[in-house]
Structure 1
Amino acid sequence: MAIKIKLVKSFSGSSEDIVSSIRGLGLKKFGDERILKDTPSIRGIVFKVKHLVSSEKVSQEAPAPKRRKPRKIVARDRARAKAAKG
């Protein structure tokens, strides 16, 4: 099971706590949607910002989060590729 969350109201002028909760859900702009795993912690965050988001249960599975390399490693790899090139 997963939960689909959509930002339906702007969070401008909200407290920093609310803004960090919205960012924690992975929402950045008005109208953004995310499908997240249905866990108690996600439900708690959604309850905290329920006046700004809409949520619904969906039967599909939440996609696995993509892993990214740290910025330092990406910069190192680019420098090595550039040095090997020329």
Structure 2
Amino acid sequence: MANRLKITLVKSTIGSIPKHKKTVEAMGLRKVNKTVEMPDNAAVRGMINQVRHLVKVEEI
């Protein structure tokens, strides 16, 4: 497994449940098509799993 993940917000959080909006914002994603790099660990994987329909993930 890679030690970093590149996470891109590909779908808007408008209409999402509040928990998903807060999860996306906690990952540092504010606008559509913005990308952040995060460490590959269980906590981040859990956040990604919760909002997997809104984000695209690449291992780097």
Any idea what the Cα deviations from partners look like across 1:18-72, whole Å, max 9, x if unmatched? 00000011000001100001110000000000000000110xxxxxxxxxxxxxx
Unmatched tracts of structure 1, length 5 or more? 59-86
Provide the identity percentage. Answer: 33
1:16 alignment partner in structure 2: 18
Partners of 1:49 and 1:41 in 2: how far apart?
13
User: Cα RMSD (Å) of the superposition?
Assistant: 0.5
1:54 alignment partner in structure 2: 56
Structure of larger gyration radius? 1
Amino acid at match of 2:14: S
Aligned length: 58
Task: Report the TM-score, using the length of structure 1 for normalisation.
Answer: 0.66
1:13 positional shift: 1.0
Unmatched tracts of structure 2, length 5 or more? none
Between structures 1 and 2, the one with greater helix share: 1
Task: Report the TM-score, using the length of structure 2 for normalisation.
Answer: 0.93
